[in-house]
Amino acid sequence: MNAGRTCTEALVSQEPTKLDWSRARVLLTGGAGFLGSWVVRGLRERGVCDDRIIIPRSAACDLRDPLHATRAVGELLAHAQRHHHQPIVLHCAGLSGGLALNSERPLDLYHDNLAMGTNVIMALARAGAALANTSAAPRLVLVGHMTSYPTDERIAPQPLREESLMAGPLDPVTAKLGTAKGELLSLARFAHTRFGLASTMVVPTNLYGEGDAMDNPAKSHAAGAMIWRFAQAVRERTPSITHWGTGRAIRDFLHVEDAARGTLAAAERLECHAGPPIAVNLGSGQETTLRDLSDTIQGVSGYTGRVDWDASKPDGVPRRVLNIRRAREVLGWMPQVTLEQGVARTLAAIEKPRA
């Protein structure tokens, strides 16, 4: 690698070599979760057989326990060496949810996310050190969180660029989640310096889509919860529905399939001889108020009742949207699912079991 290359340039070569997925053996943490299940679909579409997609389940492999993480990573590397596979770790596991979960379980959000990520990084760094700078070196993609961005626009101008990650105070409500996720990027950089571990972090915006826990208030995300509310209102012919806040808050909504594509693109473009890990935003490139989101869902769902807003409930931060220039330039990635398309697909998935 030339000494003059920037961190962004170090992530990919000028002529990036596409990962040969036919040689890949993938440890996918959180593979049964919302984003992870879509990553599984993407891996299958790229020709990765199910017997080479390892999804540790928490009942048998609790990644908060360093011994469990070490065992899972050790088995991945042993099988990969024995069968001449390319070992890849996609760390999608994590505890997250809406404002209610962040308010009620801040300690769990901080501890669980930091512990899982730390254990995966350190197990892979130590076990894979002997393979660093070889064609068999493991690749790691971490999934970060947009709550790792400061709320003060003087520190982190909007749309948010990756350089602003963890650059100042975070939103108090979601700070524990944001801090835990953000600290993993710093740890990955130390692991690169000490052990030569090649990694990067994708930072998705607000995700929605088929497979979200939309009916679970503790785990549902803003868009998913709203889509579910409209679907229920249509089904039950409810005369009115009420959303939290004023509807003026501005957000960035990305369909989960696009986020899965971005995660896999990061693995494809990550060089084994890359420089220090960087973050790459995955967003829609569009700013949408919650009121506009509500109007879109109402139009797609055909709901004809009244929509109210409870201003006594919090809006969250006034504006949070991501700059996706780096994803375009470094990963060759752009979102493909429009908001209207994604809402229609999600509503259809809700109704499908009842068809």
DSSP character at residue 319: B
- For residue 353, pLDDT over 80 is answered with no
| Tokens matching residue 97 | 């949810």
Instruction: Report, in this order, helix, strand and coil percent for the chain, each rounded to 5.
Output: 45, 15, 40
| Tokens matching residue 36 | 């992870």
Strand ranges for 112-195 from DSSP E:
139-143
Q: Taking all residues of the chain, what is their mean pLDDT, rounded to a whole number? A: 91
Query: What integer is the mean pLDDT of 323-329?
Result: 97
Contacts of 23 (CB under 8 A, 6+ apart): 84, 85, 86
| Tokens matching residue 300 | 């797609």
Centre a 10 Å sphere on the Cβ of residue 47 and count the other Cβ atoms it contains.
Answer: 11
Spatial contact of 221 and 316, defined as CB atoms under 8 Å apart: no
- Residue 15: pLDDT band with limits 50, 70, 90: very low
SS (H, E, C) 216-284: CCCCCCHHHHHHHHHHHHHHHCCCEEEEECCCCCEECEEEHHHHHHHHHHHHHHCCCCCCCCCEEEECC
Residues 30-49 have pLDDT tens digits of 999 999 999 999 999 999 99
Beta bridge partners of 207: 254
pLDDT score recorded for residue 218: 67
- Closest-CA residue to 56 (of 116, 8, 14, 126): 116
Query: What integer is the mean pLDDT of 244-269?
Result: 96
pLDDT score recorded for residue 197: 93
Query: What integer is the mean pLDDT of 274-299?
Result: 95
Query: What integer is the mean pLDDT of 156-180?
Result: 96
Angle ∠(143,148,152) on CA atoms, nearest 5: 150
- Closest-CA residue to 340 (of 291, 305, 301): 301
- Residue 272: pLDDT band with limits 50, 70, 90: very low
> 259-289 in b/e burial notation, b at 16+ Cβ within 10 A?
bbbbbbbbbbbbbbebbebbbbbbbbbebbe
- For residue 273, pLDDT over 70 is answered with no
- For residue 243, pLDDT over 60 is answered with yes
Residues 121-134 have pLDDT tens digits of 999 999 988 887 77
pLDDT score recorded for residue 309: 97
pLDDT score recorded for residue 16: 47
pLDDT score recorded for residue 8: 47
> 188-205 in b/e burial notation, b at 16+ Cβ within 10 A?
bbebbeebbbbbbbbbbb
Query: What integer is the mean pLDDT of 109-123?
Result: 98
Residues 68-99 have pLDDT tens digits of 999 999 999 999 999 999 999 999 999 988 77
pLDDT score recorded for residue 19: 85
Give the amino acid at 296.
Answer: T
- Residue 6: pLDDT band with limits 50, 70, 90: very low
pLDDT score recorded for residue 3: 37
pLDDT score recorded for residue 220: 72
- For residue 151, pLDDT over 90 is answered with yes
Contacts of 227 (CB under 8 A, 6+ apart): 208, 214, 297, 301, 343, 346, 347, 350
Same CATH fold, 222-249+286-319+337-354 and 21-208+253-285+324-331? no
- For residue 263, pLDDT over 90 is answered with yes
pLDDT score recorded for residue 97: 80
pTM summary value: 0.92
Residues 218-241 have pLDDT tens digits of 677 789 999 999 999 999 999 999
Beta bridge partners of 201: 142, 279
pLDDT score recorded for residue 236: 97
Distance (Å) of CA 324 to CA 43, 104, 230, 293, 331: 23, 32, 30, 20, 10
Query: What integer is the mean pLDDT of 260-284?
Result: 88
pLDDT score recorded for residue 12: 45
- Closest-CA residue to 346 (of 251, 203, 225): 225
> Burial level of 3, CB count in 10 A (0-12/13-18/19+)?
exposed
Element (H, E) at 295: helix 290-301
Domain segments of the chain as ranges:
21-208+253-285+324-331, 222-249+286-319+337-354
Handedness of CA 104, 211, 28, 17 (dihedral sign): negative
Tell how strand 86-91 and strand 139-143 pair up.
Answer: parallel
Strand ranges for 283-327 from DSSP E:
288-289, 306-310
- Residue 271: pLDDT band with limits 50, 70, 90: low
CATH number for 21-208+253-285+324-331 (one of 3.40.50.300, 3.40.50.720, 3.40.50.2300, 3.40.50.1110): it is 3.40.50.720
- For residue 63, pLDDT over 90 is answered with yes
Query: Is the CATH number 3.90.25.10 carried by domain 222-249+286-319+337-354?
Result: yes
